[in-house]
Structure 1
């Protein structure tokens, strides 16, 4: 594992590598139904300290680094990451993110998405970054649009979340050659 960790600096926040002491702050900010309700079911709810420790331990030795802490004032207040796909999709990554509800509306997430997108295109050999958004989450759609993503389509009745059948809005940004 390379010890050259990436840190991406935004205005009022940093995207950085994971530290073992991030678990408590992660658990505090992630344990929120207003966050869980817009993410995949693999995101735990309630978000226990055990889940936080497990996640942090899994993220400690990434190579390449594709998952970052959103750090505000030295605290892990959110996460942004890429899931690099395989096979014929190997030059595409799926983007996922969340930030503490206490920081919603402050413009951090569009900046964070722009930073990780530039990092991915420059360092990971990707040509496309894609995000799927639940149809009941217009705030996230607006965040992606502010970050330069374009809505490419809507997959009807593609998601079941909290017992509701939802459409999935597909957003993407392409590397310019």
Structure 2
């Protein structure tokens, strides 16, 4: 009798913390990704490129896209026991801002309040500066009402730099857009403490 093939192992972690580890996406993530992302609370502060409802087809597209990137800049966040917990990634800048990249992340609802987002963001930021020597700055923006994500950024060492007033429109609401940055020459330590609603405006 032929042996039953075993599922392919997921990629090795790029970083590991006491609260999570971050690894490349794998085919086995399609189902967990679709289930975790398909909530209005997850997409509420995302760009409109993040679909809602979030279907298995959306998840399959994203997994294939992220797994095929070179260099890889979008990853899965997992709990210490290996459960899928969210996503984190970078968008490279262009033109004169090509050495400034944007970070975005989100964590599944069942993992809110455990400090995963801040822990992942702090470790991922350090990894990015190490892996990409030309990178000078990582930045992120949060909607004015998204206080939890602002706390995540601050705990990870990001500095609040300014407010773009009435800059975004989402689900019938006009919101300010708060800008955060982390500059290579000014390293700061994040505490990775607990947060409630971890997400920034990033596709996944």
TM over 0.5: yes
In structure 1, the residue matched to 2:7 is none
Larger radius of gyration: 2
Q: Is the 8 A contact 1:149 1:171 kept in 2?
A: yes
Aligned mate of 1:104, from 112, 115, 135? 112
In structure 2, the residue matched to 1:42 is 49
TM-score normalised over the length of structure 2: 0.82
Cα distance between partner residues in 1 of 2:136 and 2:71: 16
Superposed CA deviations along residues 96-150 of structure 1, whole A, max 9, x for unmatched, are 1000111111111111111111111111121100000001100000000000001
Cα distance between partner residues in 2 of 1:77 and 1:100: 5
Q: Is the 8 A contact 1:92 1:130 kept in 2?
A: yes
Cα distance between partner residues in 2 of 1:144 and 1:133: 9
Which ranges of structure 2 fall in alignment gaps of 5 or more residues?
1-10, 187-204
Cα distance between partner residues in 2 of 1:144 and 1:20: 30
Which ranges of structure 1 fall in alignment gaps of 5 or more residues?
none
Q: Which has the higher strand share?
A: 1
Count of paired positions: 174
**Higher relative contact order, chain-length normalized (CA < 8 Å, sep 6+):** 2
The runs of at least 4 aligned residues of structure 1 exceeding 3 Å deviation read none
Say if 2:135 is the partner of 1:126.
yes
TM-score normalised over the length of structure 1: 0.94
Q: Comparing 75-84 with 142-151, which one deviates more in the overlay? A: 75-84
Q: Is the 8 A contact 2:37 2:54 kept in 1?
A: yes
Say if 2:56 is the partner of 1:52.
no
